[in-house]
Amino acid sequence: MKARIHVTLKNGVLDPQGKAIEHALSNMGFGGVDGARQGKYIELDLNETDKTKAEAAVDEMCRKLIANTVIENYSIELE
Amino acid sequence: MKARIHVTLKNGVLDPQGKAIEHALSNMGFGGVDGARQGKYIELDLNETDKTKAEAAVDEMCRKLIANTVIENYSIELE
């Protein structure tokens, strides 16, 4: 089973990477970009075949290691 | 219009961040993780309302700035 995890900064948290992208695009002549936010995307290959157990395990991984829940949100998709 | 961009390392390209996650999870007692790959996730807010034009613009942004196409793949979703 494969888990796809998106980790994004919470609203209001300063995002220097996103700002850098926004300014670079503007300097390169790409108009019409009102905002950019950068997050992380993680793919995990799991042995677990039970979806409920896999989801619980990945949720715990996110809370304990992958995401900093003080400033980041995460979402999990399993397939 | 919002663009969601995923930038992932091509197969065969060494992924130290992914390896670090994999080892950390294993050391923390999470078994059953066979592999981890880390990529980037970028959200852009666009002025453009025409989907075809937006897609062409974002594709150019990815090729010229956001992704290093020698070692990275990218995918674009618009909504």
Do A44 and B36 count as a contact with CB atoms less than 8 A apart? yes
Whole-angstrom Cα distance, residue A68 to residue B19?
A: 19
pLDDT at B27: 96
Domains of chain A, residue spans: 2-78
Whole-angstrom Cα distance, residue B23 to residue B11?
A: 19
Residue B68 C-beta-side C-alpha neighbours within 13 Å:
7
Q: Tell which residue, A8, A1, A3, has the closest CA to residue A74.
A: A8
Q: Tell which residue, A40, A48, A63, has the closest CA to residue B33.
A: A48
Q: B-chain residues within 8 Å CB-CB of A5?
A: none
Touching check for A1 and chain B: CB below 8 Å? no
pLDDT at B17: 96
Residue type, B72: E
- CA-based radius of gyration for chain B: 16
Predicted confidence (pLDDT) per residue in B13-55, tens digit:
999 999 999 999 999 999 999 999 999 999 999 999 999 999 9
State the CATH architecture for B2-78. Answer: 2-Layer Sandwich (3.30)
Distance of CA B5 to the CA centre of its chain: 6
- Tokens linked to A18: 């996103």
Predicted confidence (pLDDT) per residue in A20-38, tens digit:
999 999 999 999 999 999 9
Distance from CA of B71 to the nearest CA of A (A): 16
Q: B-chain residues within 8 Å CB-CB of A64?
A: 28
Q: What is the ipTM of this complex?
A: 0.90
Low-confidence ranges of chain A (pLDDT < 50): none
If you average pLDDT over residues B53-67, what whole number do you get?
Answer: 97
Q: Are B76 and B2 spatial neighbours (Cβ–Cβ below 8 Å)?
A: no
3-class DSSP state for residue A23? helix
